[in-house]
Structure 1
Amino acid sequence: MWRLLLHPAARRSAALLRRDLTEQQIEEIIELGSARSLAANSSVPADVRAPLAEHPEPSVRCGVAASVADEPPGLPARLADDPDPSVRSFLAMNDHLPPELLARLAADPEPSVRSSIIQHWRDAPDRVRRALLTDADPNIRRDSVLTYSPPADLLPGLLADPVTRAATVPYAPPSPELATDPDSAVREAAAAHPDLPTGLRDLLADDPDIFVRNAIAARPDTPSVLRERIAATVETDSPLTEWILSSRRNPHTCPSPAPAPPILTREQAEALLAKADL
């Protein structure tokens, strides 16, 4: 391990992942400039974590914020007052936070912190969801609709908001108004609506936007004859666009993860260390 600490990449991995680092090894890691990786290691003792939470580099404090439990007591609450918003954003990703601290971050004045809460607190209570769904920042409102199911009383306002209209379509009954909306994103959302009537489906099958027509072709209830007719009209010269369109019509599953590498023998480990001049 001491030899590995001399290699920058190996040192960062050890600092981040090892659960058996000694006090001397921790000091060496900090001395060699890998305090950021060490700060994100949830197995670091509390007496080491507390000084790292006061580190002058925000990136180090971010590492602490992302992994800290309430040890030493009150540390997460102190990090919630960190002057750097990136630290508070990383704190919002922490799985150990109590609901009251998450709610406090959900009302943070920095939009990036509130955005982090939306991404990581999927079971936020109703009052927090409502606040985020009606946030003054348009990006926060849009991301909230994409994450949380809006309550019925907020639907009219969200549908009237150009920023959240497309994201709200799945929660509203499909209508001719939505199917003919000037915003193609709204029409595409209408085309994917699970309760889309046949008449609106056929209307959107001839939409001028290629992505709207493709959404109709991707529907499981679209007749094969109509699907083939639409597929012939969504050809493009862009390989990336073609891949996006075809993947939506023909969803695929990801391959199985690669098996874990075998445990190295002492001889193999020595050979690798020698190759790295360690």
Structure 2
Amino acid sequence: MATSEDTSTSQSAAADKVIAQLEKMETSIVEELQSISKRVKCLEEQAPHPPKRRATESSSSLWADRGTSGLESLTDISWPVSDDEEEQGDQLETENLGQVPIQHSEENRQLVTFSFREVLSSDSRKRLRTAFPCPSLQDTRCSKLDSIFNGASIHKEMKTVDAELARVQALIHDPAGPLIHLLHSFNDGEMSNDEAKLAVSNAIRLLGNVSVGMLRLRRRKILKWVNPDISDLAEEDIFQTATTNIFSAGFEVKMKERAKSLKLLAASRTSQPQPKKFC
């Protein structure tokens, strides 16, 4: 059986690994930025190319209000042409969405913000699902892994990968219940406005739970690739402030603080007097 000293030593070693890995990441990022800077400088010295005509170019009106004139000649254009243009297209789409004059009430704003940042507990998720149970339709059920893949000869890692994705798929199916009930109410007219509002609110919360769960999965995959010893940090609340990025600004500082806290914890346990053993 491992002693407390062995446990402290192991935790201290894991913390050292975290700090070493973060230092490698910082060095790699600096080198990559230098390489990008050189490539940009080289491109700037070259003669500028004429701008490519894009399918997204139009007047400042919203996309839904655009006419069809001039679009016939763009049918052969391959879009997106490159990763850079795809990023530019995302920016244009964001700008167009920002022009929509929608003003959320404080209640709705808090609902959306909370739903897409907090993970639902098992009890909360169950309560939201059972409030508007999904109809017994085969298409609304999460597919199970075929029995042929459950044998002992199948690699355990494959089952683990499927289990992670199966959970995401199950979460995606959750909002189907309240949305289908809302759709059904349009035919029979039995649902009141309050019930319809509750159905939409539940669907938003369940959709937000999917998004947060998927975000945590992305963090865990990235951290596991960087260093398996720190992959469990994806489940902690140090990234709750992240909005536009997976880890948010200054995540290296947070990771180093986490590593230092582990070292302090390990050191404090080592300094504690060991209990005497009586023969």
Instruction: Provide TM-score, normalisation by structure 1.
Output: 0.22
When you count helix as a share of all residues, which structure comes out higher?
2
Relative contact order higher in (CA < 8 Å, ≥ 6 apart)? 2
